[in-house]
Structure 1
């Protein structure tokens, strides 16, 4: 428990100590038995970190710290609030209270989202954009911010808030302080061009193959059976039904079960990615699962359970600035930031290298 949540561990530790004392005090166990048992339990818990990495709560490293427009009381800030993301009603009221001069609007669900935002920007000429919603909403507003040369303020109004958590902007109070004082940092915004025409941006990940399905299944199960059992069940189910994809990676022919492209650098490098170390390095984190080795799915699961993914032929990890992917055969669905956004057979991934200015407290 202490490995996953130090605060919860600190709260439970006195109870555990009291149990240990009571066992000795009542004569049920010798002191040496209790000490040995506690040491054994702690050792087993620590040893699991070899294959079950603990997600760090520290924010990722961003790009250069810069000065952005300081907006006292939110004057000059246009905030888009997505009513369909998370619990935005309470957060919208909190933003209004703390930034009374900021303009907030919720887009009409029956009208094109981006058209509404562009009209608001054209009519109001804001000095900065804000967004209260999930990752899918954040990336849409981030595109407009980059296109208009405006800094972006993120309020974590989604269900999971991957980007807000990784970027260190998960606190409304801290973001408000950054907005009023003009504190900001540069961050990467990644993109993928599909079939040479359509451009799709993403702030977290782009994936195809079984990975999107495994993430959705894991998130449905983890509330019932726990994070790591849910991850194992999801991987087994998805891989069992998966069909290998024949692709070309930067001109090299590969057959893969799934492909993962992350914006920035994820951690750990030799296990399933659990957290992000950097969103300001101008790089893409690329991981894929080859289908060619004999019994590759079985070997992959064994490697995951034994903490040997980093040295396994069934798991490949690299860091790059661009990536070209061509799929042989039928088109595949591309998922960006957890949502299926395009179907295609040719994908060119890149990062804009610190192209987005993000309000973040210091």
Structure 2
């Protein structure tokens, strides 16, 4: 398109802008006069969207919580791009407001450039970002976002094309965000649904023996013990001391109780699961650790969730995975993956998980040695190995959660060692959400997996706990082997 054609297009858009703006201004509507200014003011400084997100975060639904987090994250990026970059590209003046009814006119007219509309960009970013995790939530928010965009025209703050431009920026960033951090894929109803198990109701905790670490979760364990004693008064609570043999105490507790309870870190929870399976008793997992990965994936966020499940007798059966015949409930790893996770977690709160994962991958691949491995007849240099008990989301090297705990599968992810050039391609794949297409990245979903380490033993880790070294990895999953209490309202 040459300059003449471009000027013709801009003149046409400008003419259409003014005509639509004037048509809205001339519309005699008490509803517009009373409603539109309130809608516009509510969205000032994104307060409307932050209030909605805060309300969503109060929900027990993990889908709703994820939608709120993604919406706010996308909004923050959109606000930065719109106000610090897009508004500086073209110095467009605000509309003339003589024709806008006084009752409808914005009381505080912005002084920044008119194009694009920051309110509209934030509205689209939040609505579509949230909608990436939950389509019904996104649909409702999109209608509200449309009202916010229209209010900016009705109150005289923007031309229609300013609003459309803002919508485009917010929507584009939401789509890009979904590429960088893929939304969680929840299996359709009827596919790998959790098994519902009915157990005896224990409203007062009778028959429950809880082993609790008061020092876990930076002291949170002590608070959990107090809550258990208050809400399940007939439960026996065993406090772990510093030099206790945890496995022995768990074994004895499972042997004498009808239900084994555990409050501690994920490594301790796994040891409790082994004891519960040995004595064929159900497990009650109280969130008393630092991260509570297993409890979170189970839908247990508070002590009250476990109390409700024990009181109502609602439980499910979950898979237990094994690495070289030693159990793990969440994840296992070999080689450099623990160091990768340490670096990623150090930076992800400051720069976000995708950038932190890319940085961690770059550092690990530059500094840590690779291991020559063989599986399925293939040999190559392995840099990172992640193993999940059941499939994790999202795909790539930033797995966060599971939508199912009993799908009978291991989630194996392998990253090969890389040269300087291929390392740059791997990092680029991480940043753009295209790692699954990189030939140095492997994903295997299977009930069993074998790998041989050809040049010496590597360190193993299970559920965040460092273990032994081994030169052969044998992995399997025991389908629905563990009965564990789960609140009836828990969802992914």
- Residue equivalent to 1:36: 165
1:110 to 214, 229, 243: 243
- Residue equivalent to 1:70: 201
Deviates more, 1:71-80 or 1:235-244: 235-244
- Residue equivalent to 1:273: 399
Task: State the Cα distance separating 1:216 from its structure 2 match.
Answer: 1.3
CA deviation digits over 1:214-265, x for unaligned, max 9?
Answer: 1111212223333333222222211211222111225543321111111011
Query: Structure with the greater relative contact order (CA < 8 A, sep ≥ 6): 1 or 2?
Result: 1
Task: State the Cα distance separating 1:44 from its structure 2 match.
Answer: 1.5
Structure-to-structure mapping, 1:157-236, within 5 angstroms? 157-193=288-324, 199-236=325-362
Cα distance change on mapping 1:176 and 1:241 into 2, 3 Å: same
CA deviation digits over 1:293-348, x for unaligned, max 9?
Answer: 88432221122223222222011101111112221223211111122122121221
Structure 1 residues without counterparts, runs of 5 or longer: 194-198
Task: State the Cα distance separating 1:292 from its structure 2 match.
Answer: 6.6
Task: State the Cα distance separating 1:186 from its structure 2 match.
Answer: 0.7
- What secondary structure is seen at the aligned counterpart in 1 of 2:403? strand
Larger of the two Rg values belongs to structure: 2
TM-score, normalised to structure 1, is: 0.87
Deviates more, 1:335-344 or 1:271-280: 271-280
1:101 to 211, 234, 238: 234
- Residue equivalent to 2:484: 358
- What secondary structure is seen at the aligned counterpart in 1 of 2:243? coil
- What secondary structure is seen at the aligned counterpart in 2 of 1:357? strand
- Residue equivalent to 1:259: 385
Please say if 1:283 is aligned against 2:409: yes
Please say if 1:50 is aligned against 2:179: yes
Task: State how far apart, in whole Å, the 2-side matches of 1:133 and 1:53 are.
Answer: 31
**Contact 2:381-2:416 at 8 Å conserved across structures:** yes
CA deviation digits over 1:177-228, x for unaligned, max 9?
Answer: 21122211110011111xxxxx421111111122211111121222333333
2:366 to 217, 226, 240: 240
Deviates more, 1:95-104 or 1:63-72: 63-72
Task: State the Cα distance separating 1:355 from its structure 2 match.
Answer: 0.5
**Contact 1:209-1:258 at 8 Å conserved across structures:** yes
1:301 to 427, 451, 455: 427
Task: State the Cα distance separating 1:113 from its structure 2 match.
Answer: 1.2
- Residue equivalent to 2:454: 328
- Residue equivalent to 1:196: none
Cα distance change on mapping 1:293 and 1:228 into 2, 3 Å: closer
Task: State the Cα distance separating 1:359 from its structure 2 match.
Answer: 0.7
CA deviation digits over 1:12-59, x for unaligned, max 9?
Answer: 89x86799799768966434314412331232222221132245799x
Task: State how far apart, in whole Å, the 1-side matches of 2:247 and 2:396 are.
Answer: 39
Task: State how far apart, in whole Å, the 2-side matches of 1:162 and 1:262 are.
Answer: 12
2:276 to 122, 126, 145: 145
Cα distance change on mapping 1:274 and 1:37 into 2, 3 Å: same
Task: State how far apart, in whole Å, the 1-side matches of 2:443 and 2:301 are.
Answer: 29
TM-score, normalised to structure 2, is: 0.65
Cα distance change on mapping 1:97 and 1:55 into 2, 3 Å: farther
**Contact 1:247-1:328 at 8 Å conserved across structures:** yes
Task: State how far apart, in whole Å, the 2-side matches of 1:57 and 1:97 are.
Answer: 36
CA RMSD of aligned residues (A): 3.1
**Contact 1:24-1:30 at 8 Å conserved across structures:** yes
